[in-house]
Structure 1
């Protein structure tokens, strides 16, 4: 797995939010379907063909968003949220494989961070970025998306 440290510029996003326990994560795929059905409602979308899924994980639950990048946050559709993700440094890698293998990808990222002296910034949002070009792979269960874990220090 190719792991690297990158700096991402500020991102403005609009989309759907969800909060629940880890046992309820099977509902997350429906958020993608819901947002895709409502994308025409989101004003000022960028031309970047991706969906961005920022999330906060906590010990017993987490908050997950399925969003689309926008140029400005105005006219947010009912039932959606809009916010800015600040410029940040991340350790990133691409997950390729079955949904059951996602946890292993995260564990490899965390192990790499520890080996190279990076500390995860638990106060910042982690990101999953889903390029439109991989939509058919993801729908077939062969997931292919980028994972970004925020770090406190940058080497």
Structure 2
């Protein structure tokens, strides 16, 4: 697994929801399916699915906001009803691997980040982008926001 620090810009059209962190593993994919059924309403998207997660600040922070959406190449003036346009420019630590290993990838990138002295930015969204590869296997790219 390769980890690295990057500066990245994201332009996203998505739908916002809120839920318990404990349920994100099942809730976010279901909400993403609802979103994808409306994706044809978005003009000029990249087909790259994305999720943005409010970071959990501490043990007492039980619920958080999240977005599911698609990356778009350019800023949009108009978005479909029920959706939002989001633009984020941030420094991240990142890694990529199989979606089935997403929990381990999160643990490994956080460990790597700590070992390299990067401090998490709890004021910016954790981002995952999803990339289909062959044989119905999907990879996830994880971006953990850090202070520059």
Structure 2 length normalisation: TM-score? Answer: 0.84
Matches within 5 A, 1:1-155: 1-9=1-9, 11-25=10-24, 26-43=26-43, 45-46=44-45, 48-58=46-56, 59-70=61-72, 71-85=74-88, 87-96=89-98, 98=100, 101-133=101-133, 136-138=136-138, 144-153=139-148
Q: 1:122 Cα deviation (Å)?
A: 0.8
Aligned partners of 1:49, 1:123: CA distance in 2, in Å?
27
User: Which string of whole-angstrom CA distances, capped at 9 and with x for unpartnered residues, describes residues 101-129 of structure 1?
Assistant: 43222121111111111111111111101
SS in 2 for 1:105: helix
Question: TM-score, normalising length from structure 1?
Answer: 0.81
Structure 1's 129 and 117: CA in aligned 2 closer, same or farther, altered over 3 A? same
Q: CA deviation at 1:14?
A: 0.9
Q: CA deviation at 1:61?
A: 1.6
Unaligned runs of 5+ in 1: 139-143
> How many pairs align?
142
Structure 1 stretches of at least 4 aligned residues deviating more than 3 Å after TM superposition: 132-135
RMSD of aligned alpha carbons: 2.0
Deviations, residues 45-92 of structure 1 (Å, cap 9, x unaligned):
24x33112111122212212111122222222222222211x211100
CA contact (8 A) 1:73 1:83 kept: no
Instruction: State the shift of 1:134 in Å.
Output: 6.6
- Contact kept, 8 Å, 1:49 with 1:131, in 2: the verdict is no
Whole-Å separation in 1 of the counterparts to 2:78 and 2:86: 12
Q: Is the Cα–Cα contact under 8 Å of residues 17 and 66 in structure 1 kept in the other structure?
A: yes
